[in-house]
Structures are given as structure tokens and as C-alpha cells.
Amino acid sequence: MGLSLEQARGIIQAALAAGRARDMRPLSVAVLDAGGHPIAFEREDGAPPGRFAIAQGKAFGAAMTGMGGRKQMSRAEAQPYFMAALNGVYGGQMVPVPGGVLVRDETGAIIGAVGVTGDTSDNDAAVALAGIAAVGLVGED
């Protein structure tokens, strides 16, 4: 089974609550299905207008490559031309930094991806993981 809208809402609510608890800057959170298609998105008041593309890009890159944003960033640092090329074949829609997190179910199957943007990349990743854990699923950074 893929992520339900109810699970996606739960992830967003918990991620935004985690950001408020840590007094982060205004966050935006996208939840995608395993094929990289949006299920739900929210942008907090005060965030710059173009945040959808970044949140979506972090999650989309994770869904397409099967690597979380932290892993993508390591790869980009080791082989910048490789990650640039991957981004090219995916139409420039990847953002390979922390904040893109794979969502796995209890069997380990990838059922979606979450992208958070707004604070530092590390903080973005932390709240994405918190949001995923809050609905009983497993995030992979």
C-alpha cells in the first residue's frame, strides 16, 4: 500500500510542529508517493513564495534515486558531475541536500518521500524524520 492522504497530513503536521517546537524559520513540506507525485504540501506563513519547487525537488530526487538527501549530497560532493547529470535526466527537478527523506513501511518497501525546506538542511532533515516517525513509518535520510 502507498501512503494515504491521512498519513501525508500526519507527516506534515508533525514536521511543522517539530519546527515550531525548535523555533525554526517558516517551513514548507511536500509529501510524494513512491512514483514522485505530490500527495500533500503545505507552506508556512512567512516562507518565500517559491518553496514548493524546493520541497518537491528534495523529495522527488529521493523517490527517483532511492537515496535520501544526505546520501545524495555525499555523492554530489564525491562526484559532482554525476549528480548534475542525474538532475539533467530528471529535468532539473532534484535538490540533492538533506531535507529529502525516503519513507519506508514496516517491510522496508519505499512508499513515498518527504521534502522539507526553510531552515538549515540538517534541521529540515530532522523535522522530516520526526514527521515520518510520528505516523509510525521509517524515514531514511
Contact residues for a copy of itself, defined by CB under 8 A: 4-5, 8-9, 33-45, 47-54, 56-57, 63-66, 73, 76-77, 79-97, 110, 121
Shortest Å, Cβ 80 to a copy of itself: 6
Which residue number, 63 or 126, has a Cβ lying nearer to a copy of itself? 63
110, β-bridge pairs:
104
Contact between 28 and 101 under an 8 Å Cβ cutoff? The reply is no
Which residue number, 73 or 126, has a Cβ lying nearer to a copy of itself? 73
Shortest Å, Cβ 1 to a copy of itself: 10
Concatenate the DSSP letters of all residues of 57-106 into one string. Answer: HHHHHHHHHS--HHHHHHHHHH-HHHHHHHHHHTTT----STTEEEEE-T
Shortest Å, Cβ 96 to a copy of itself: 6
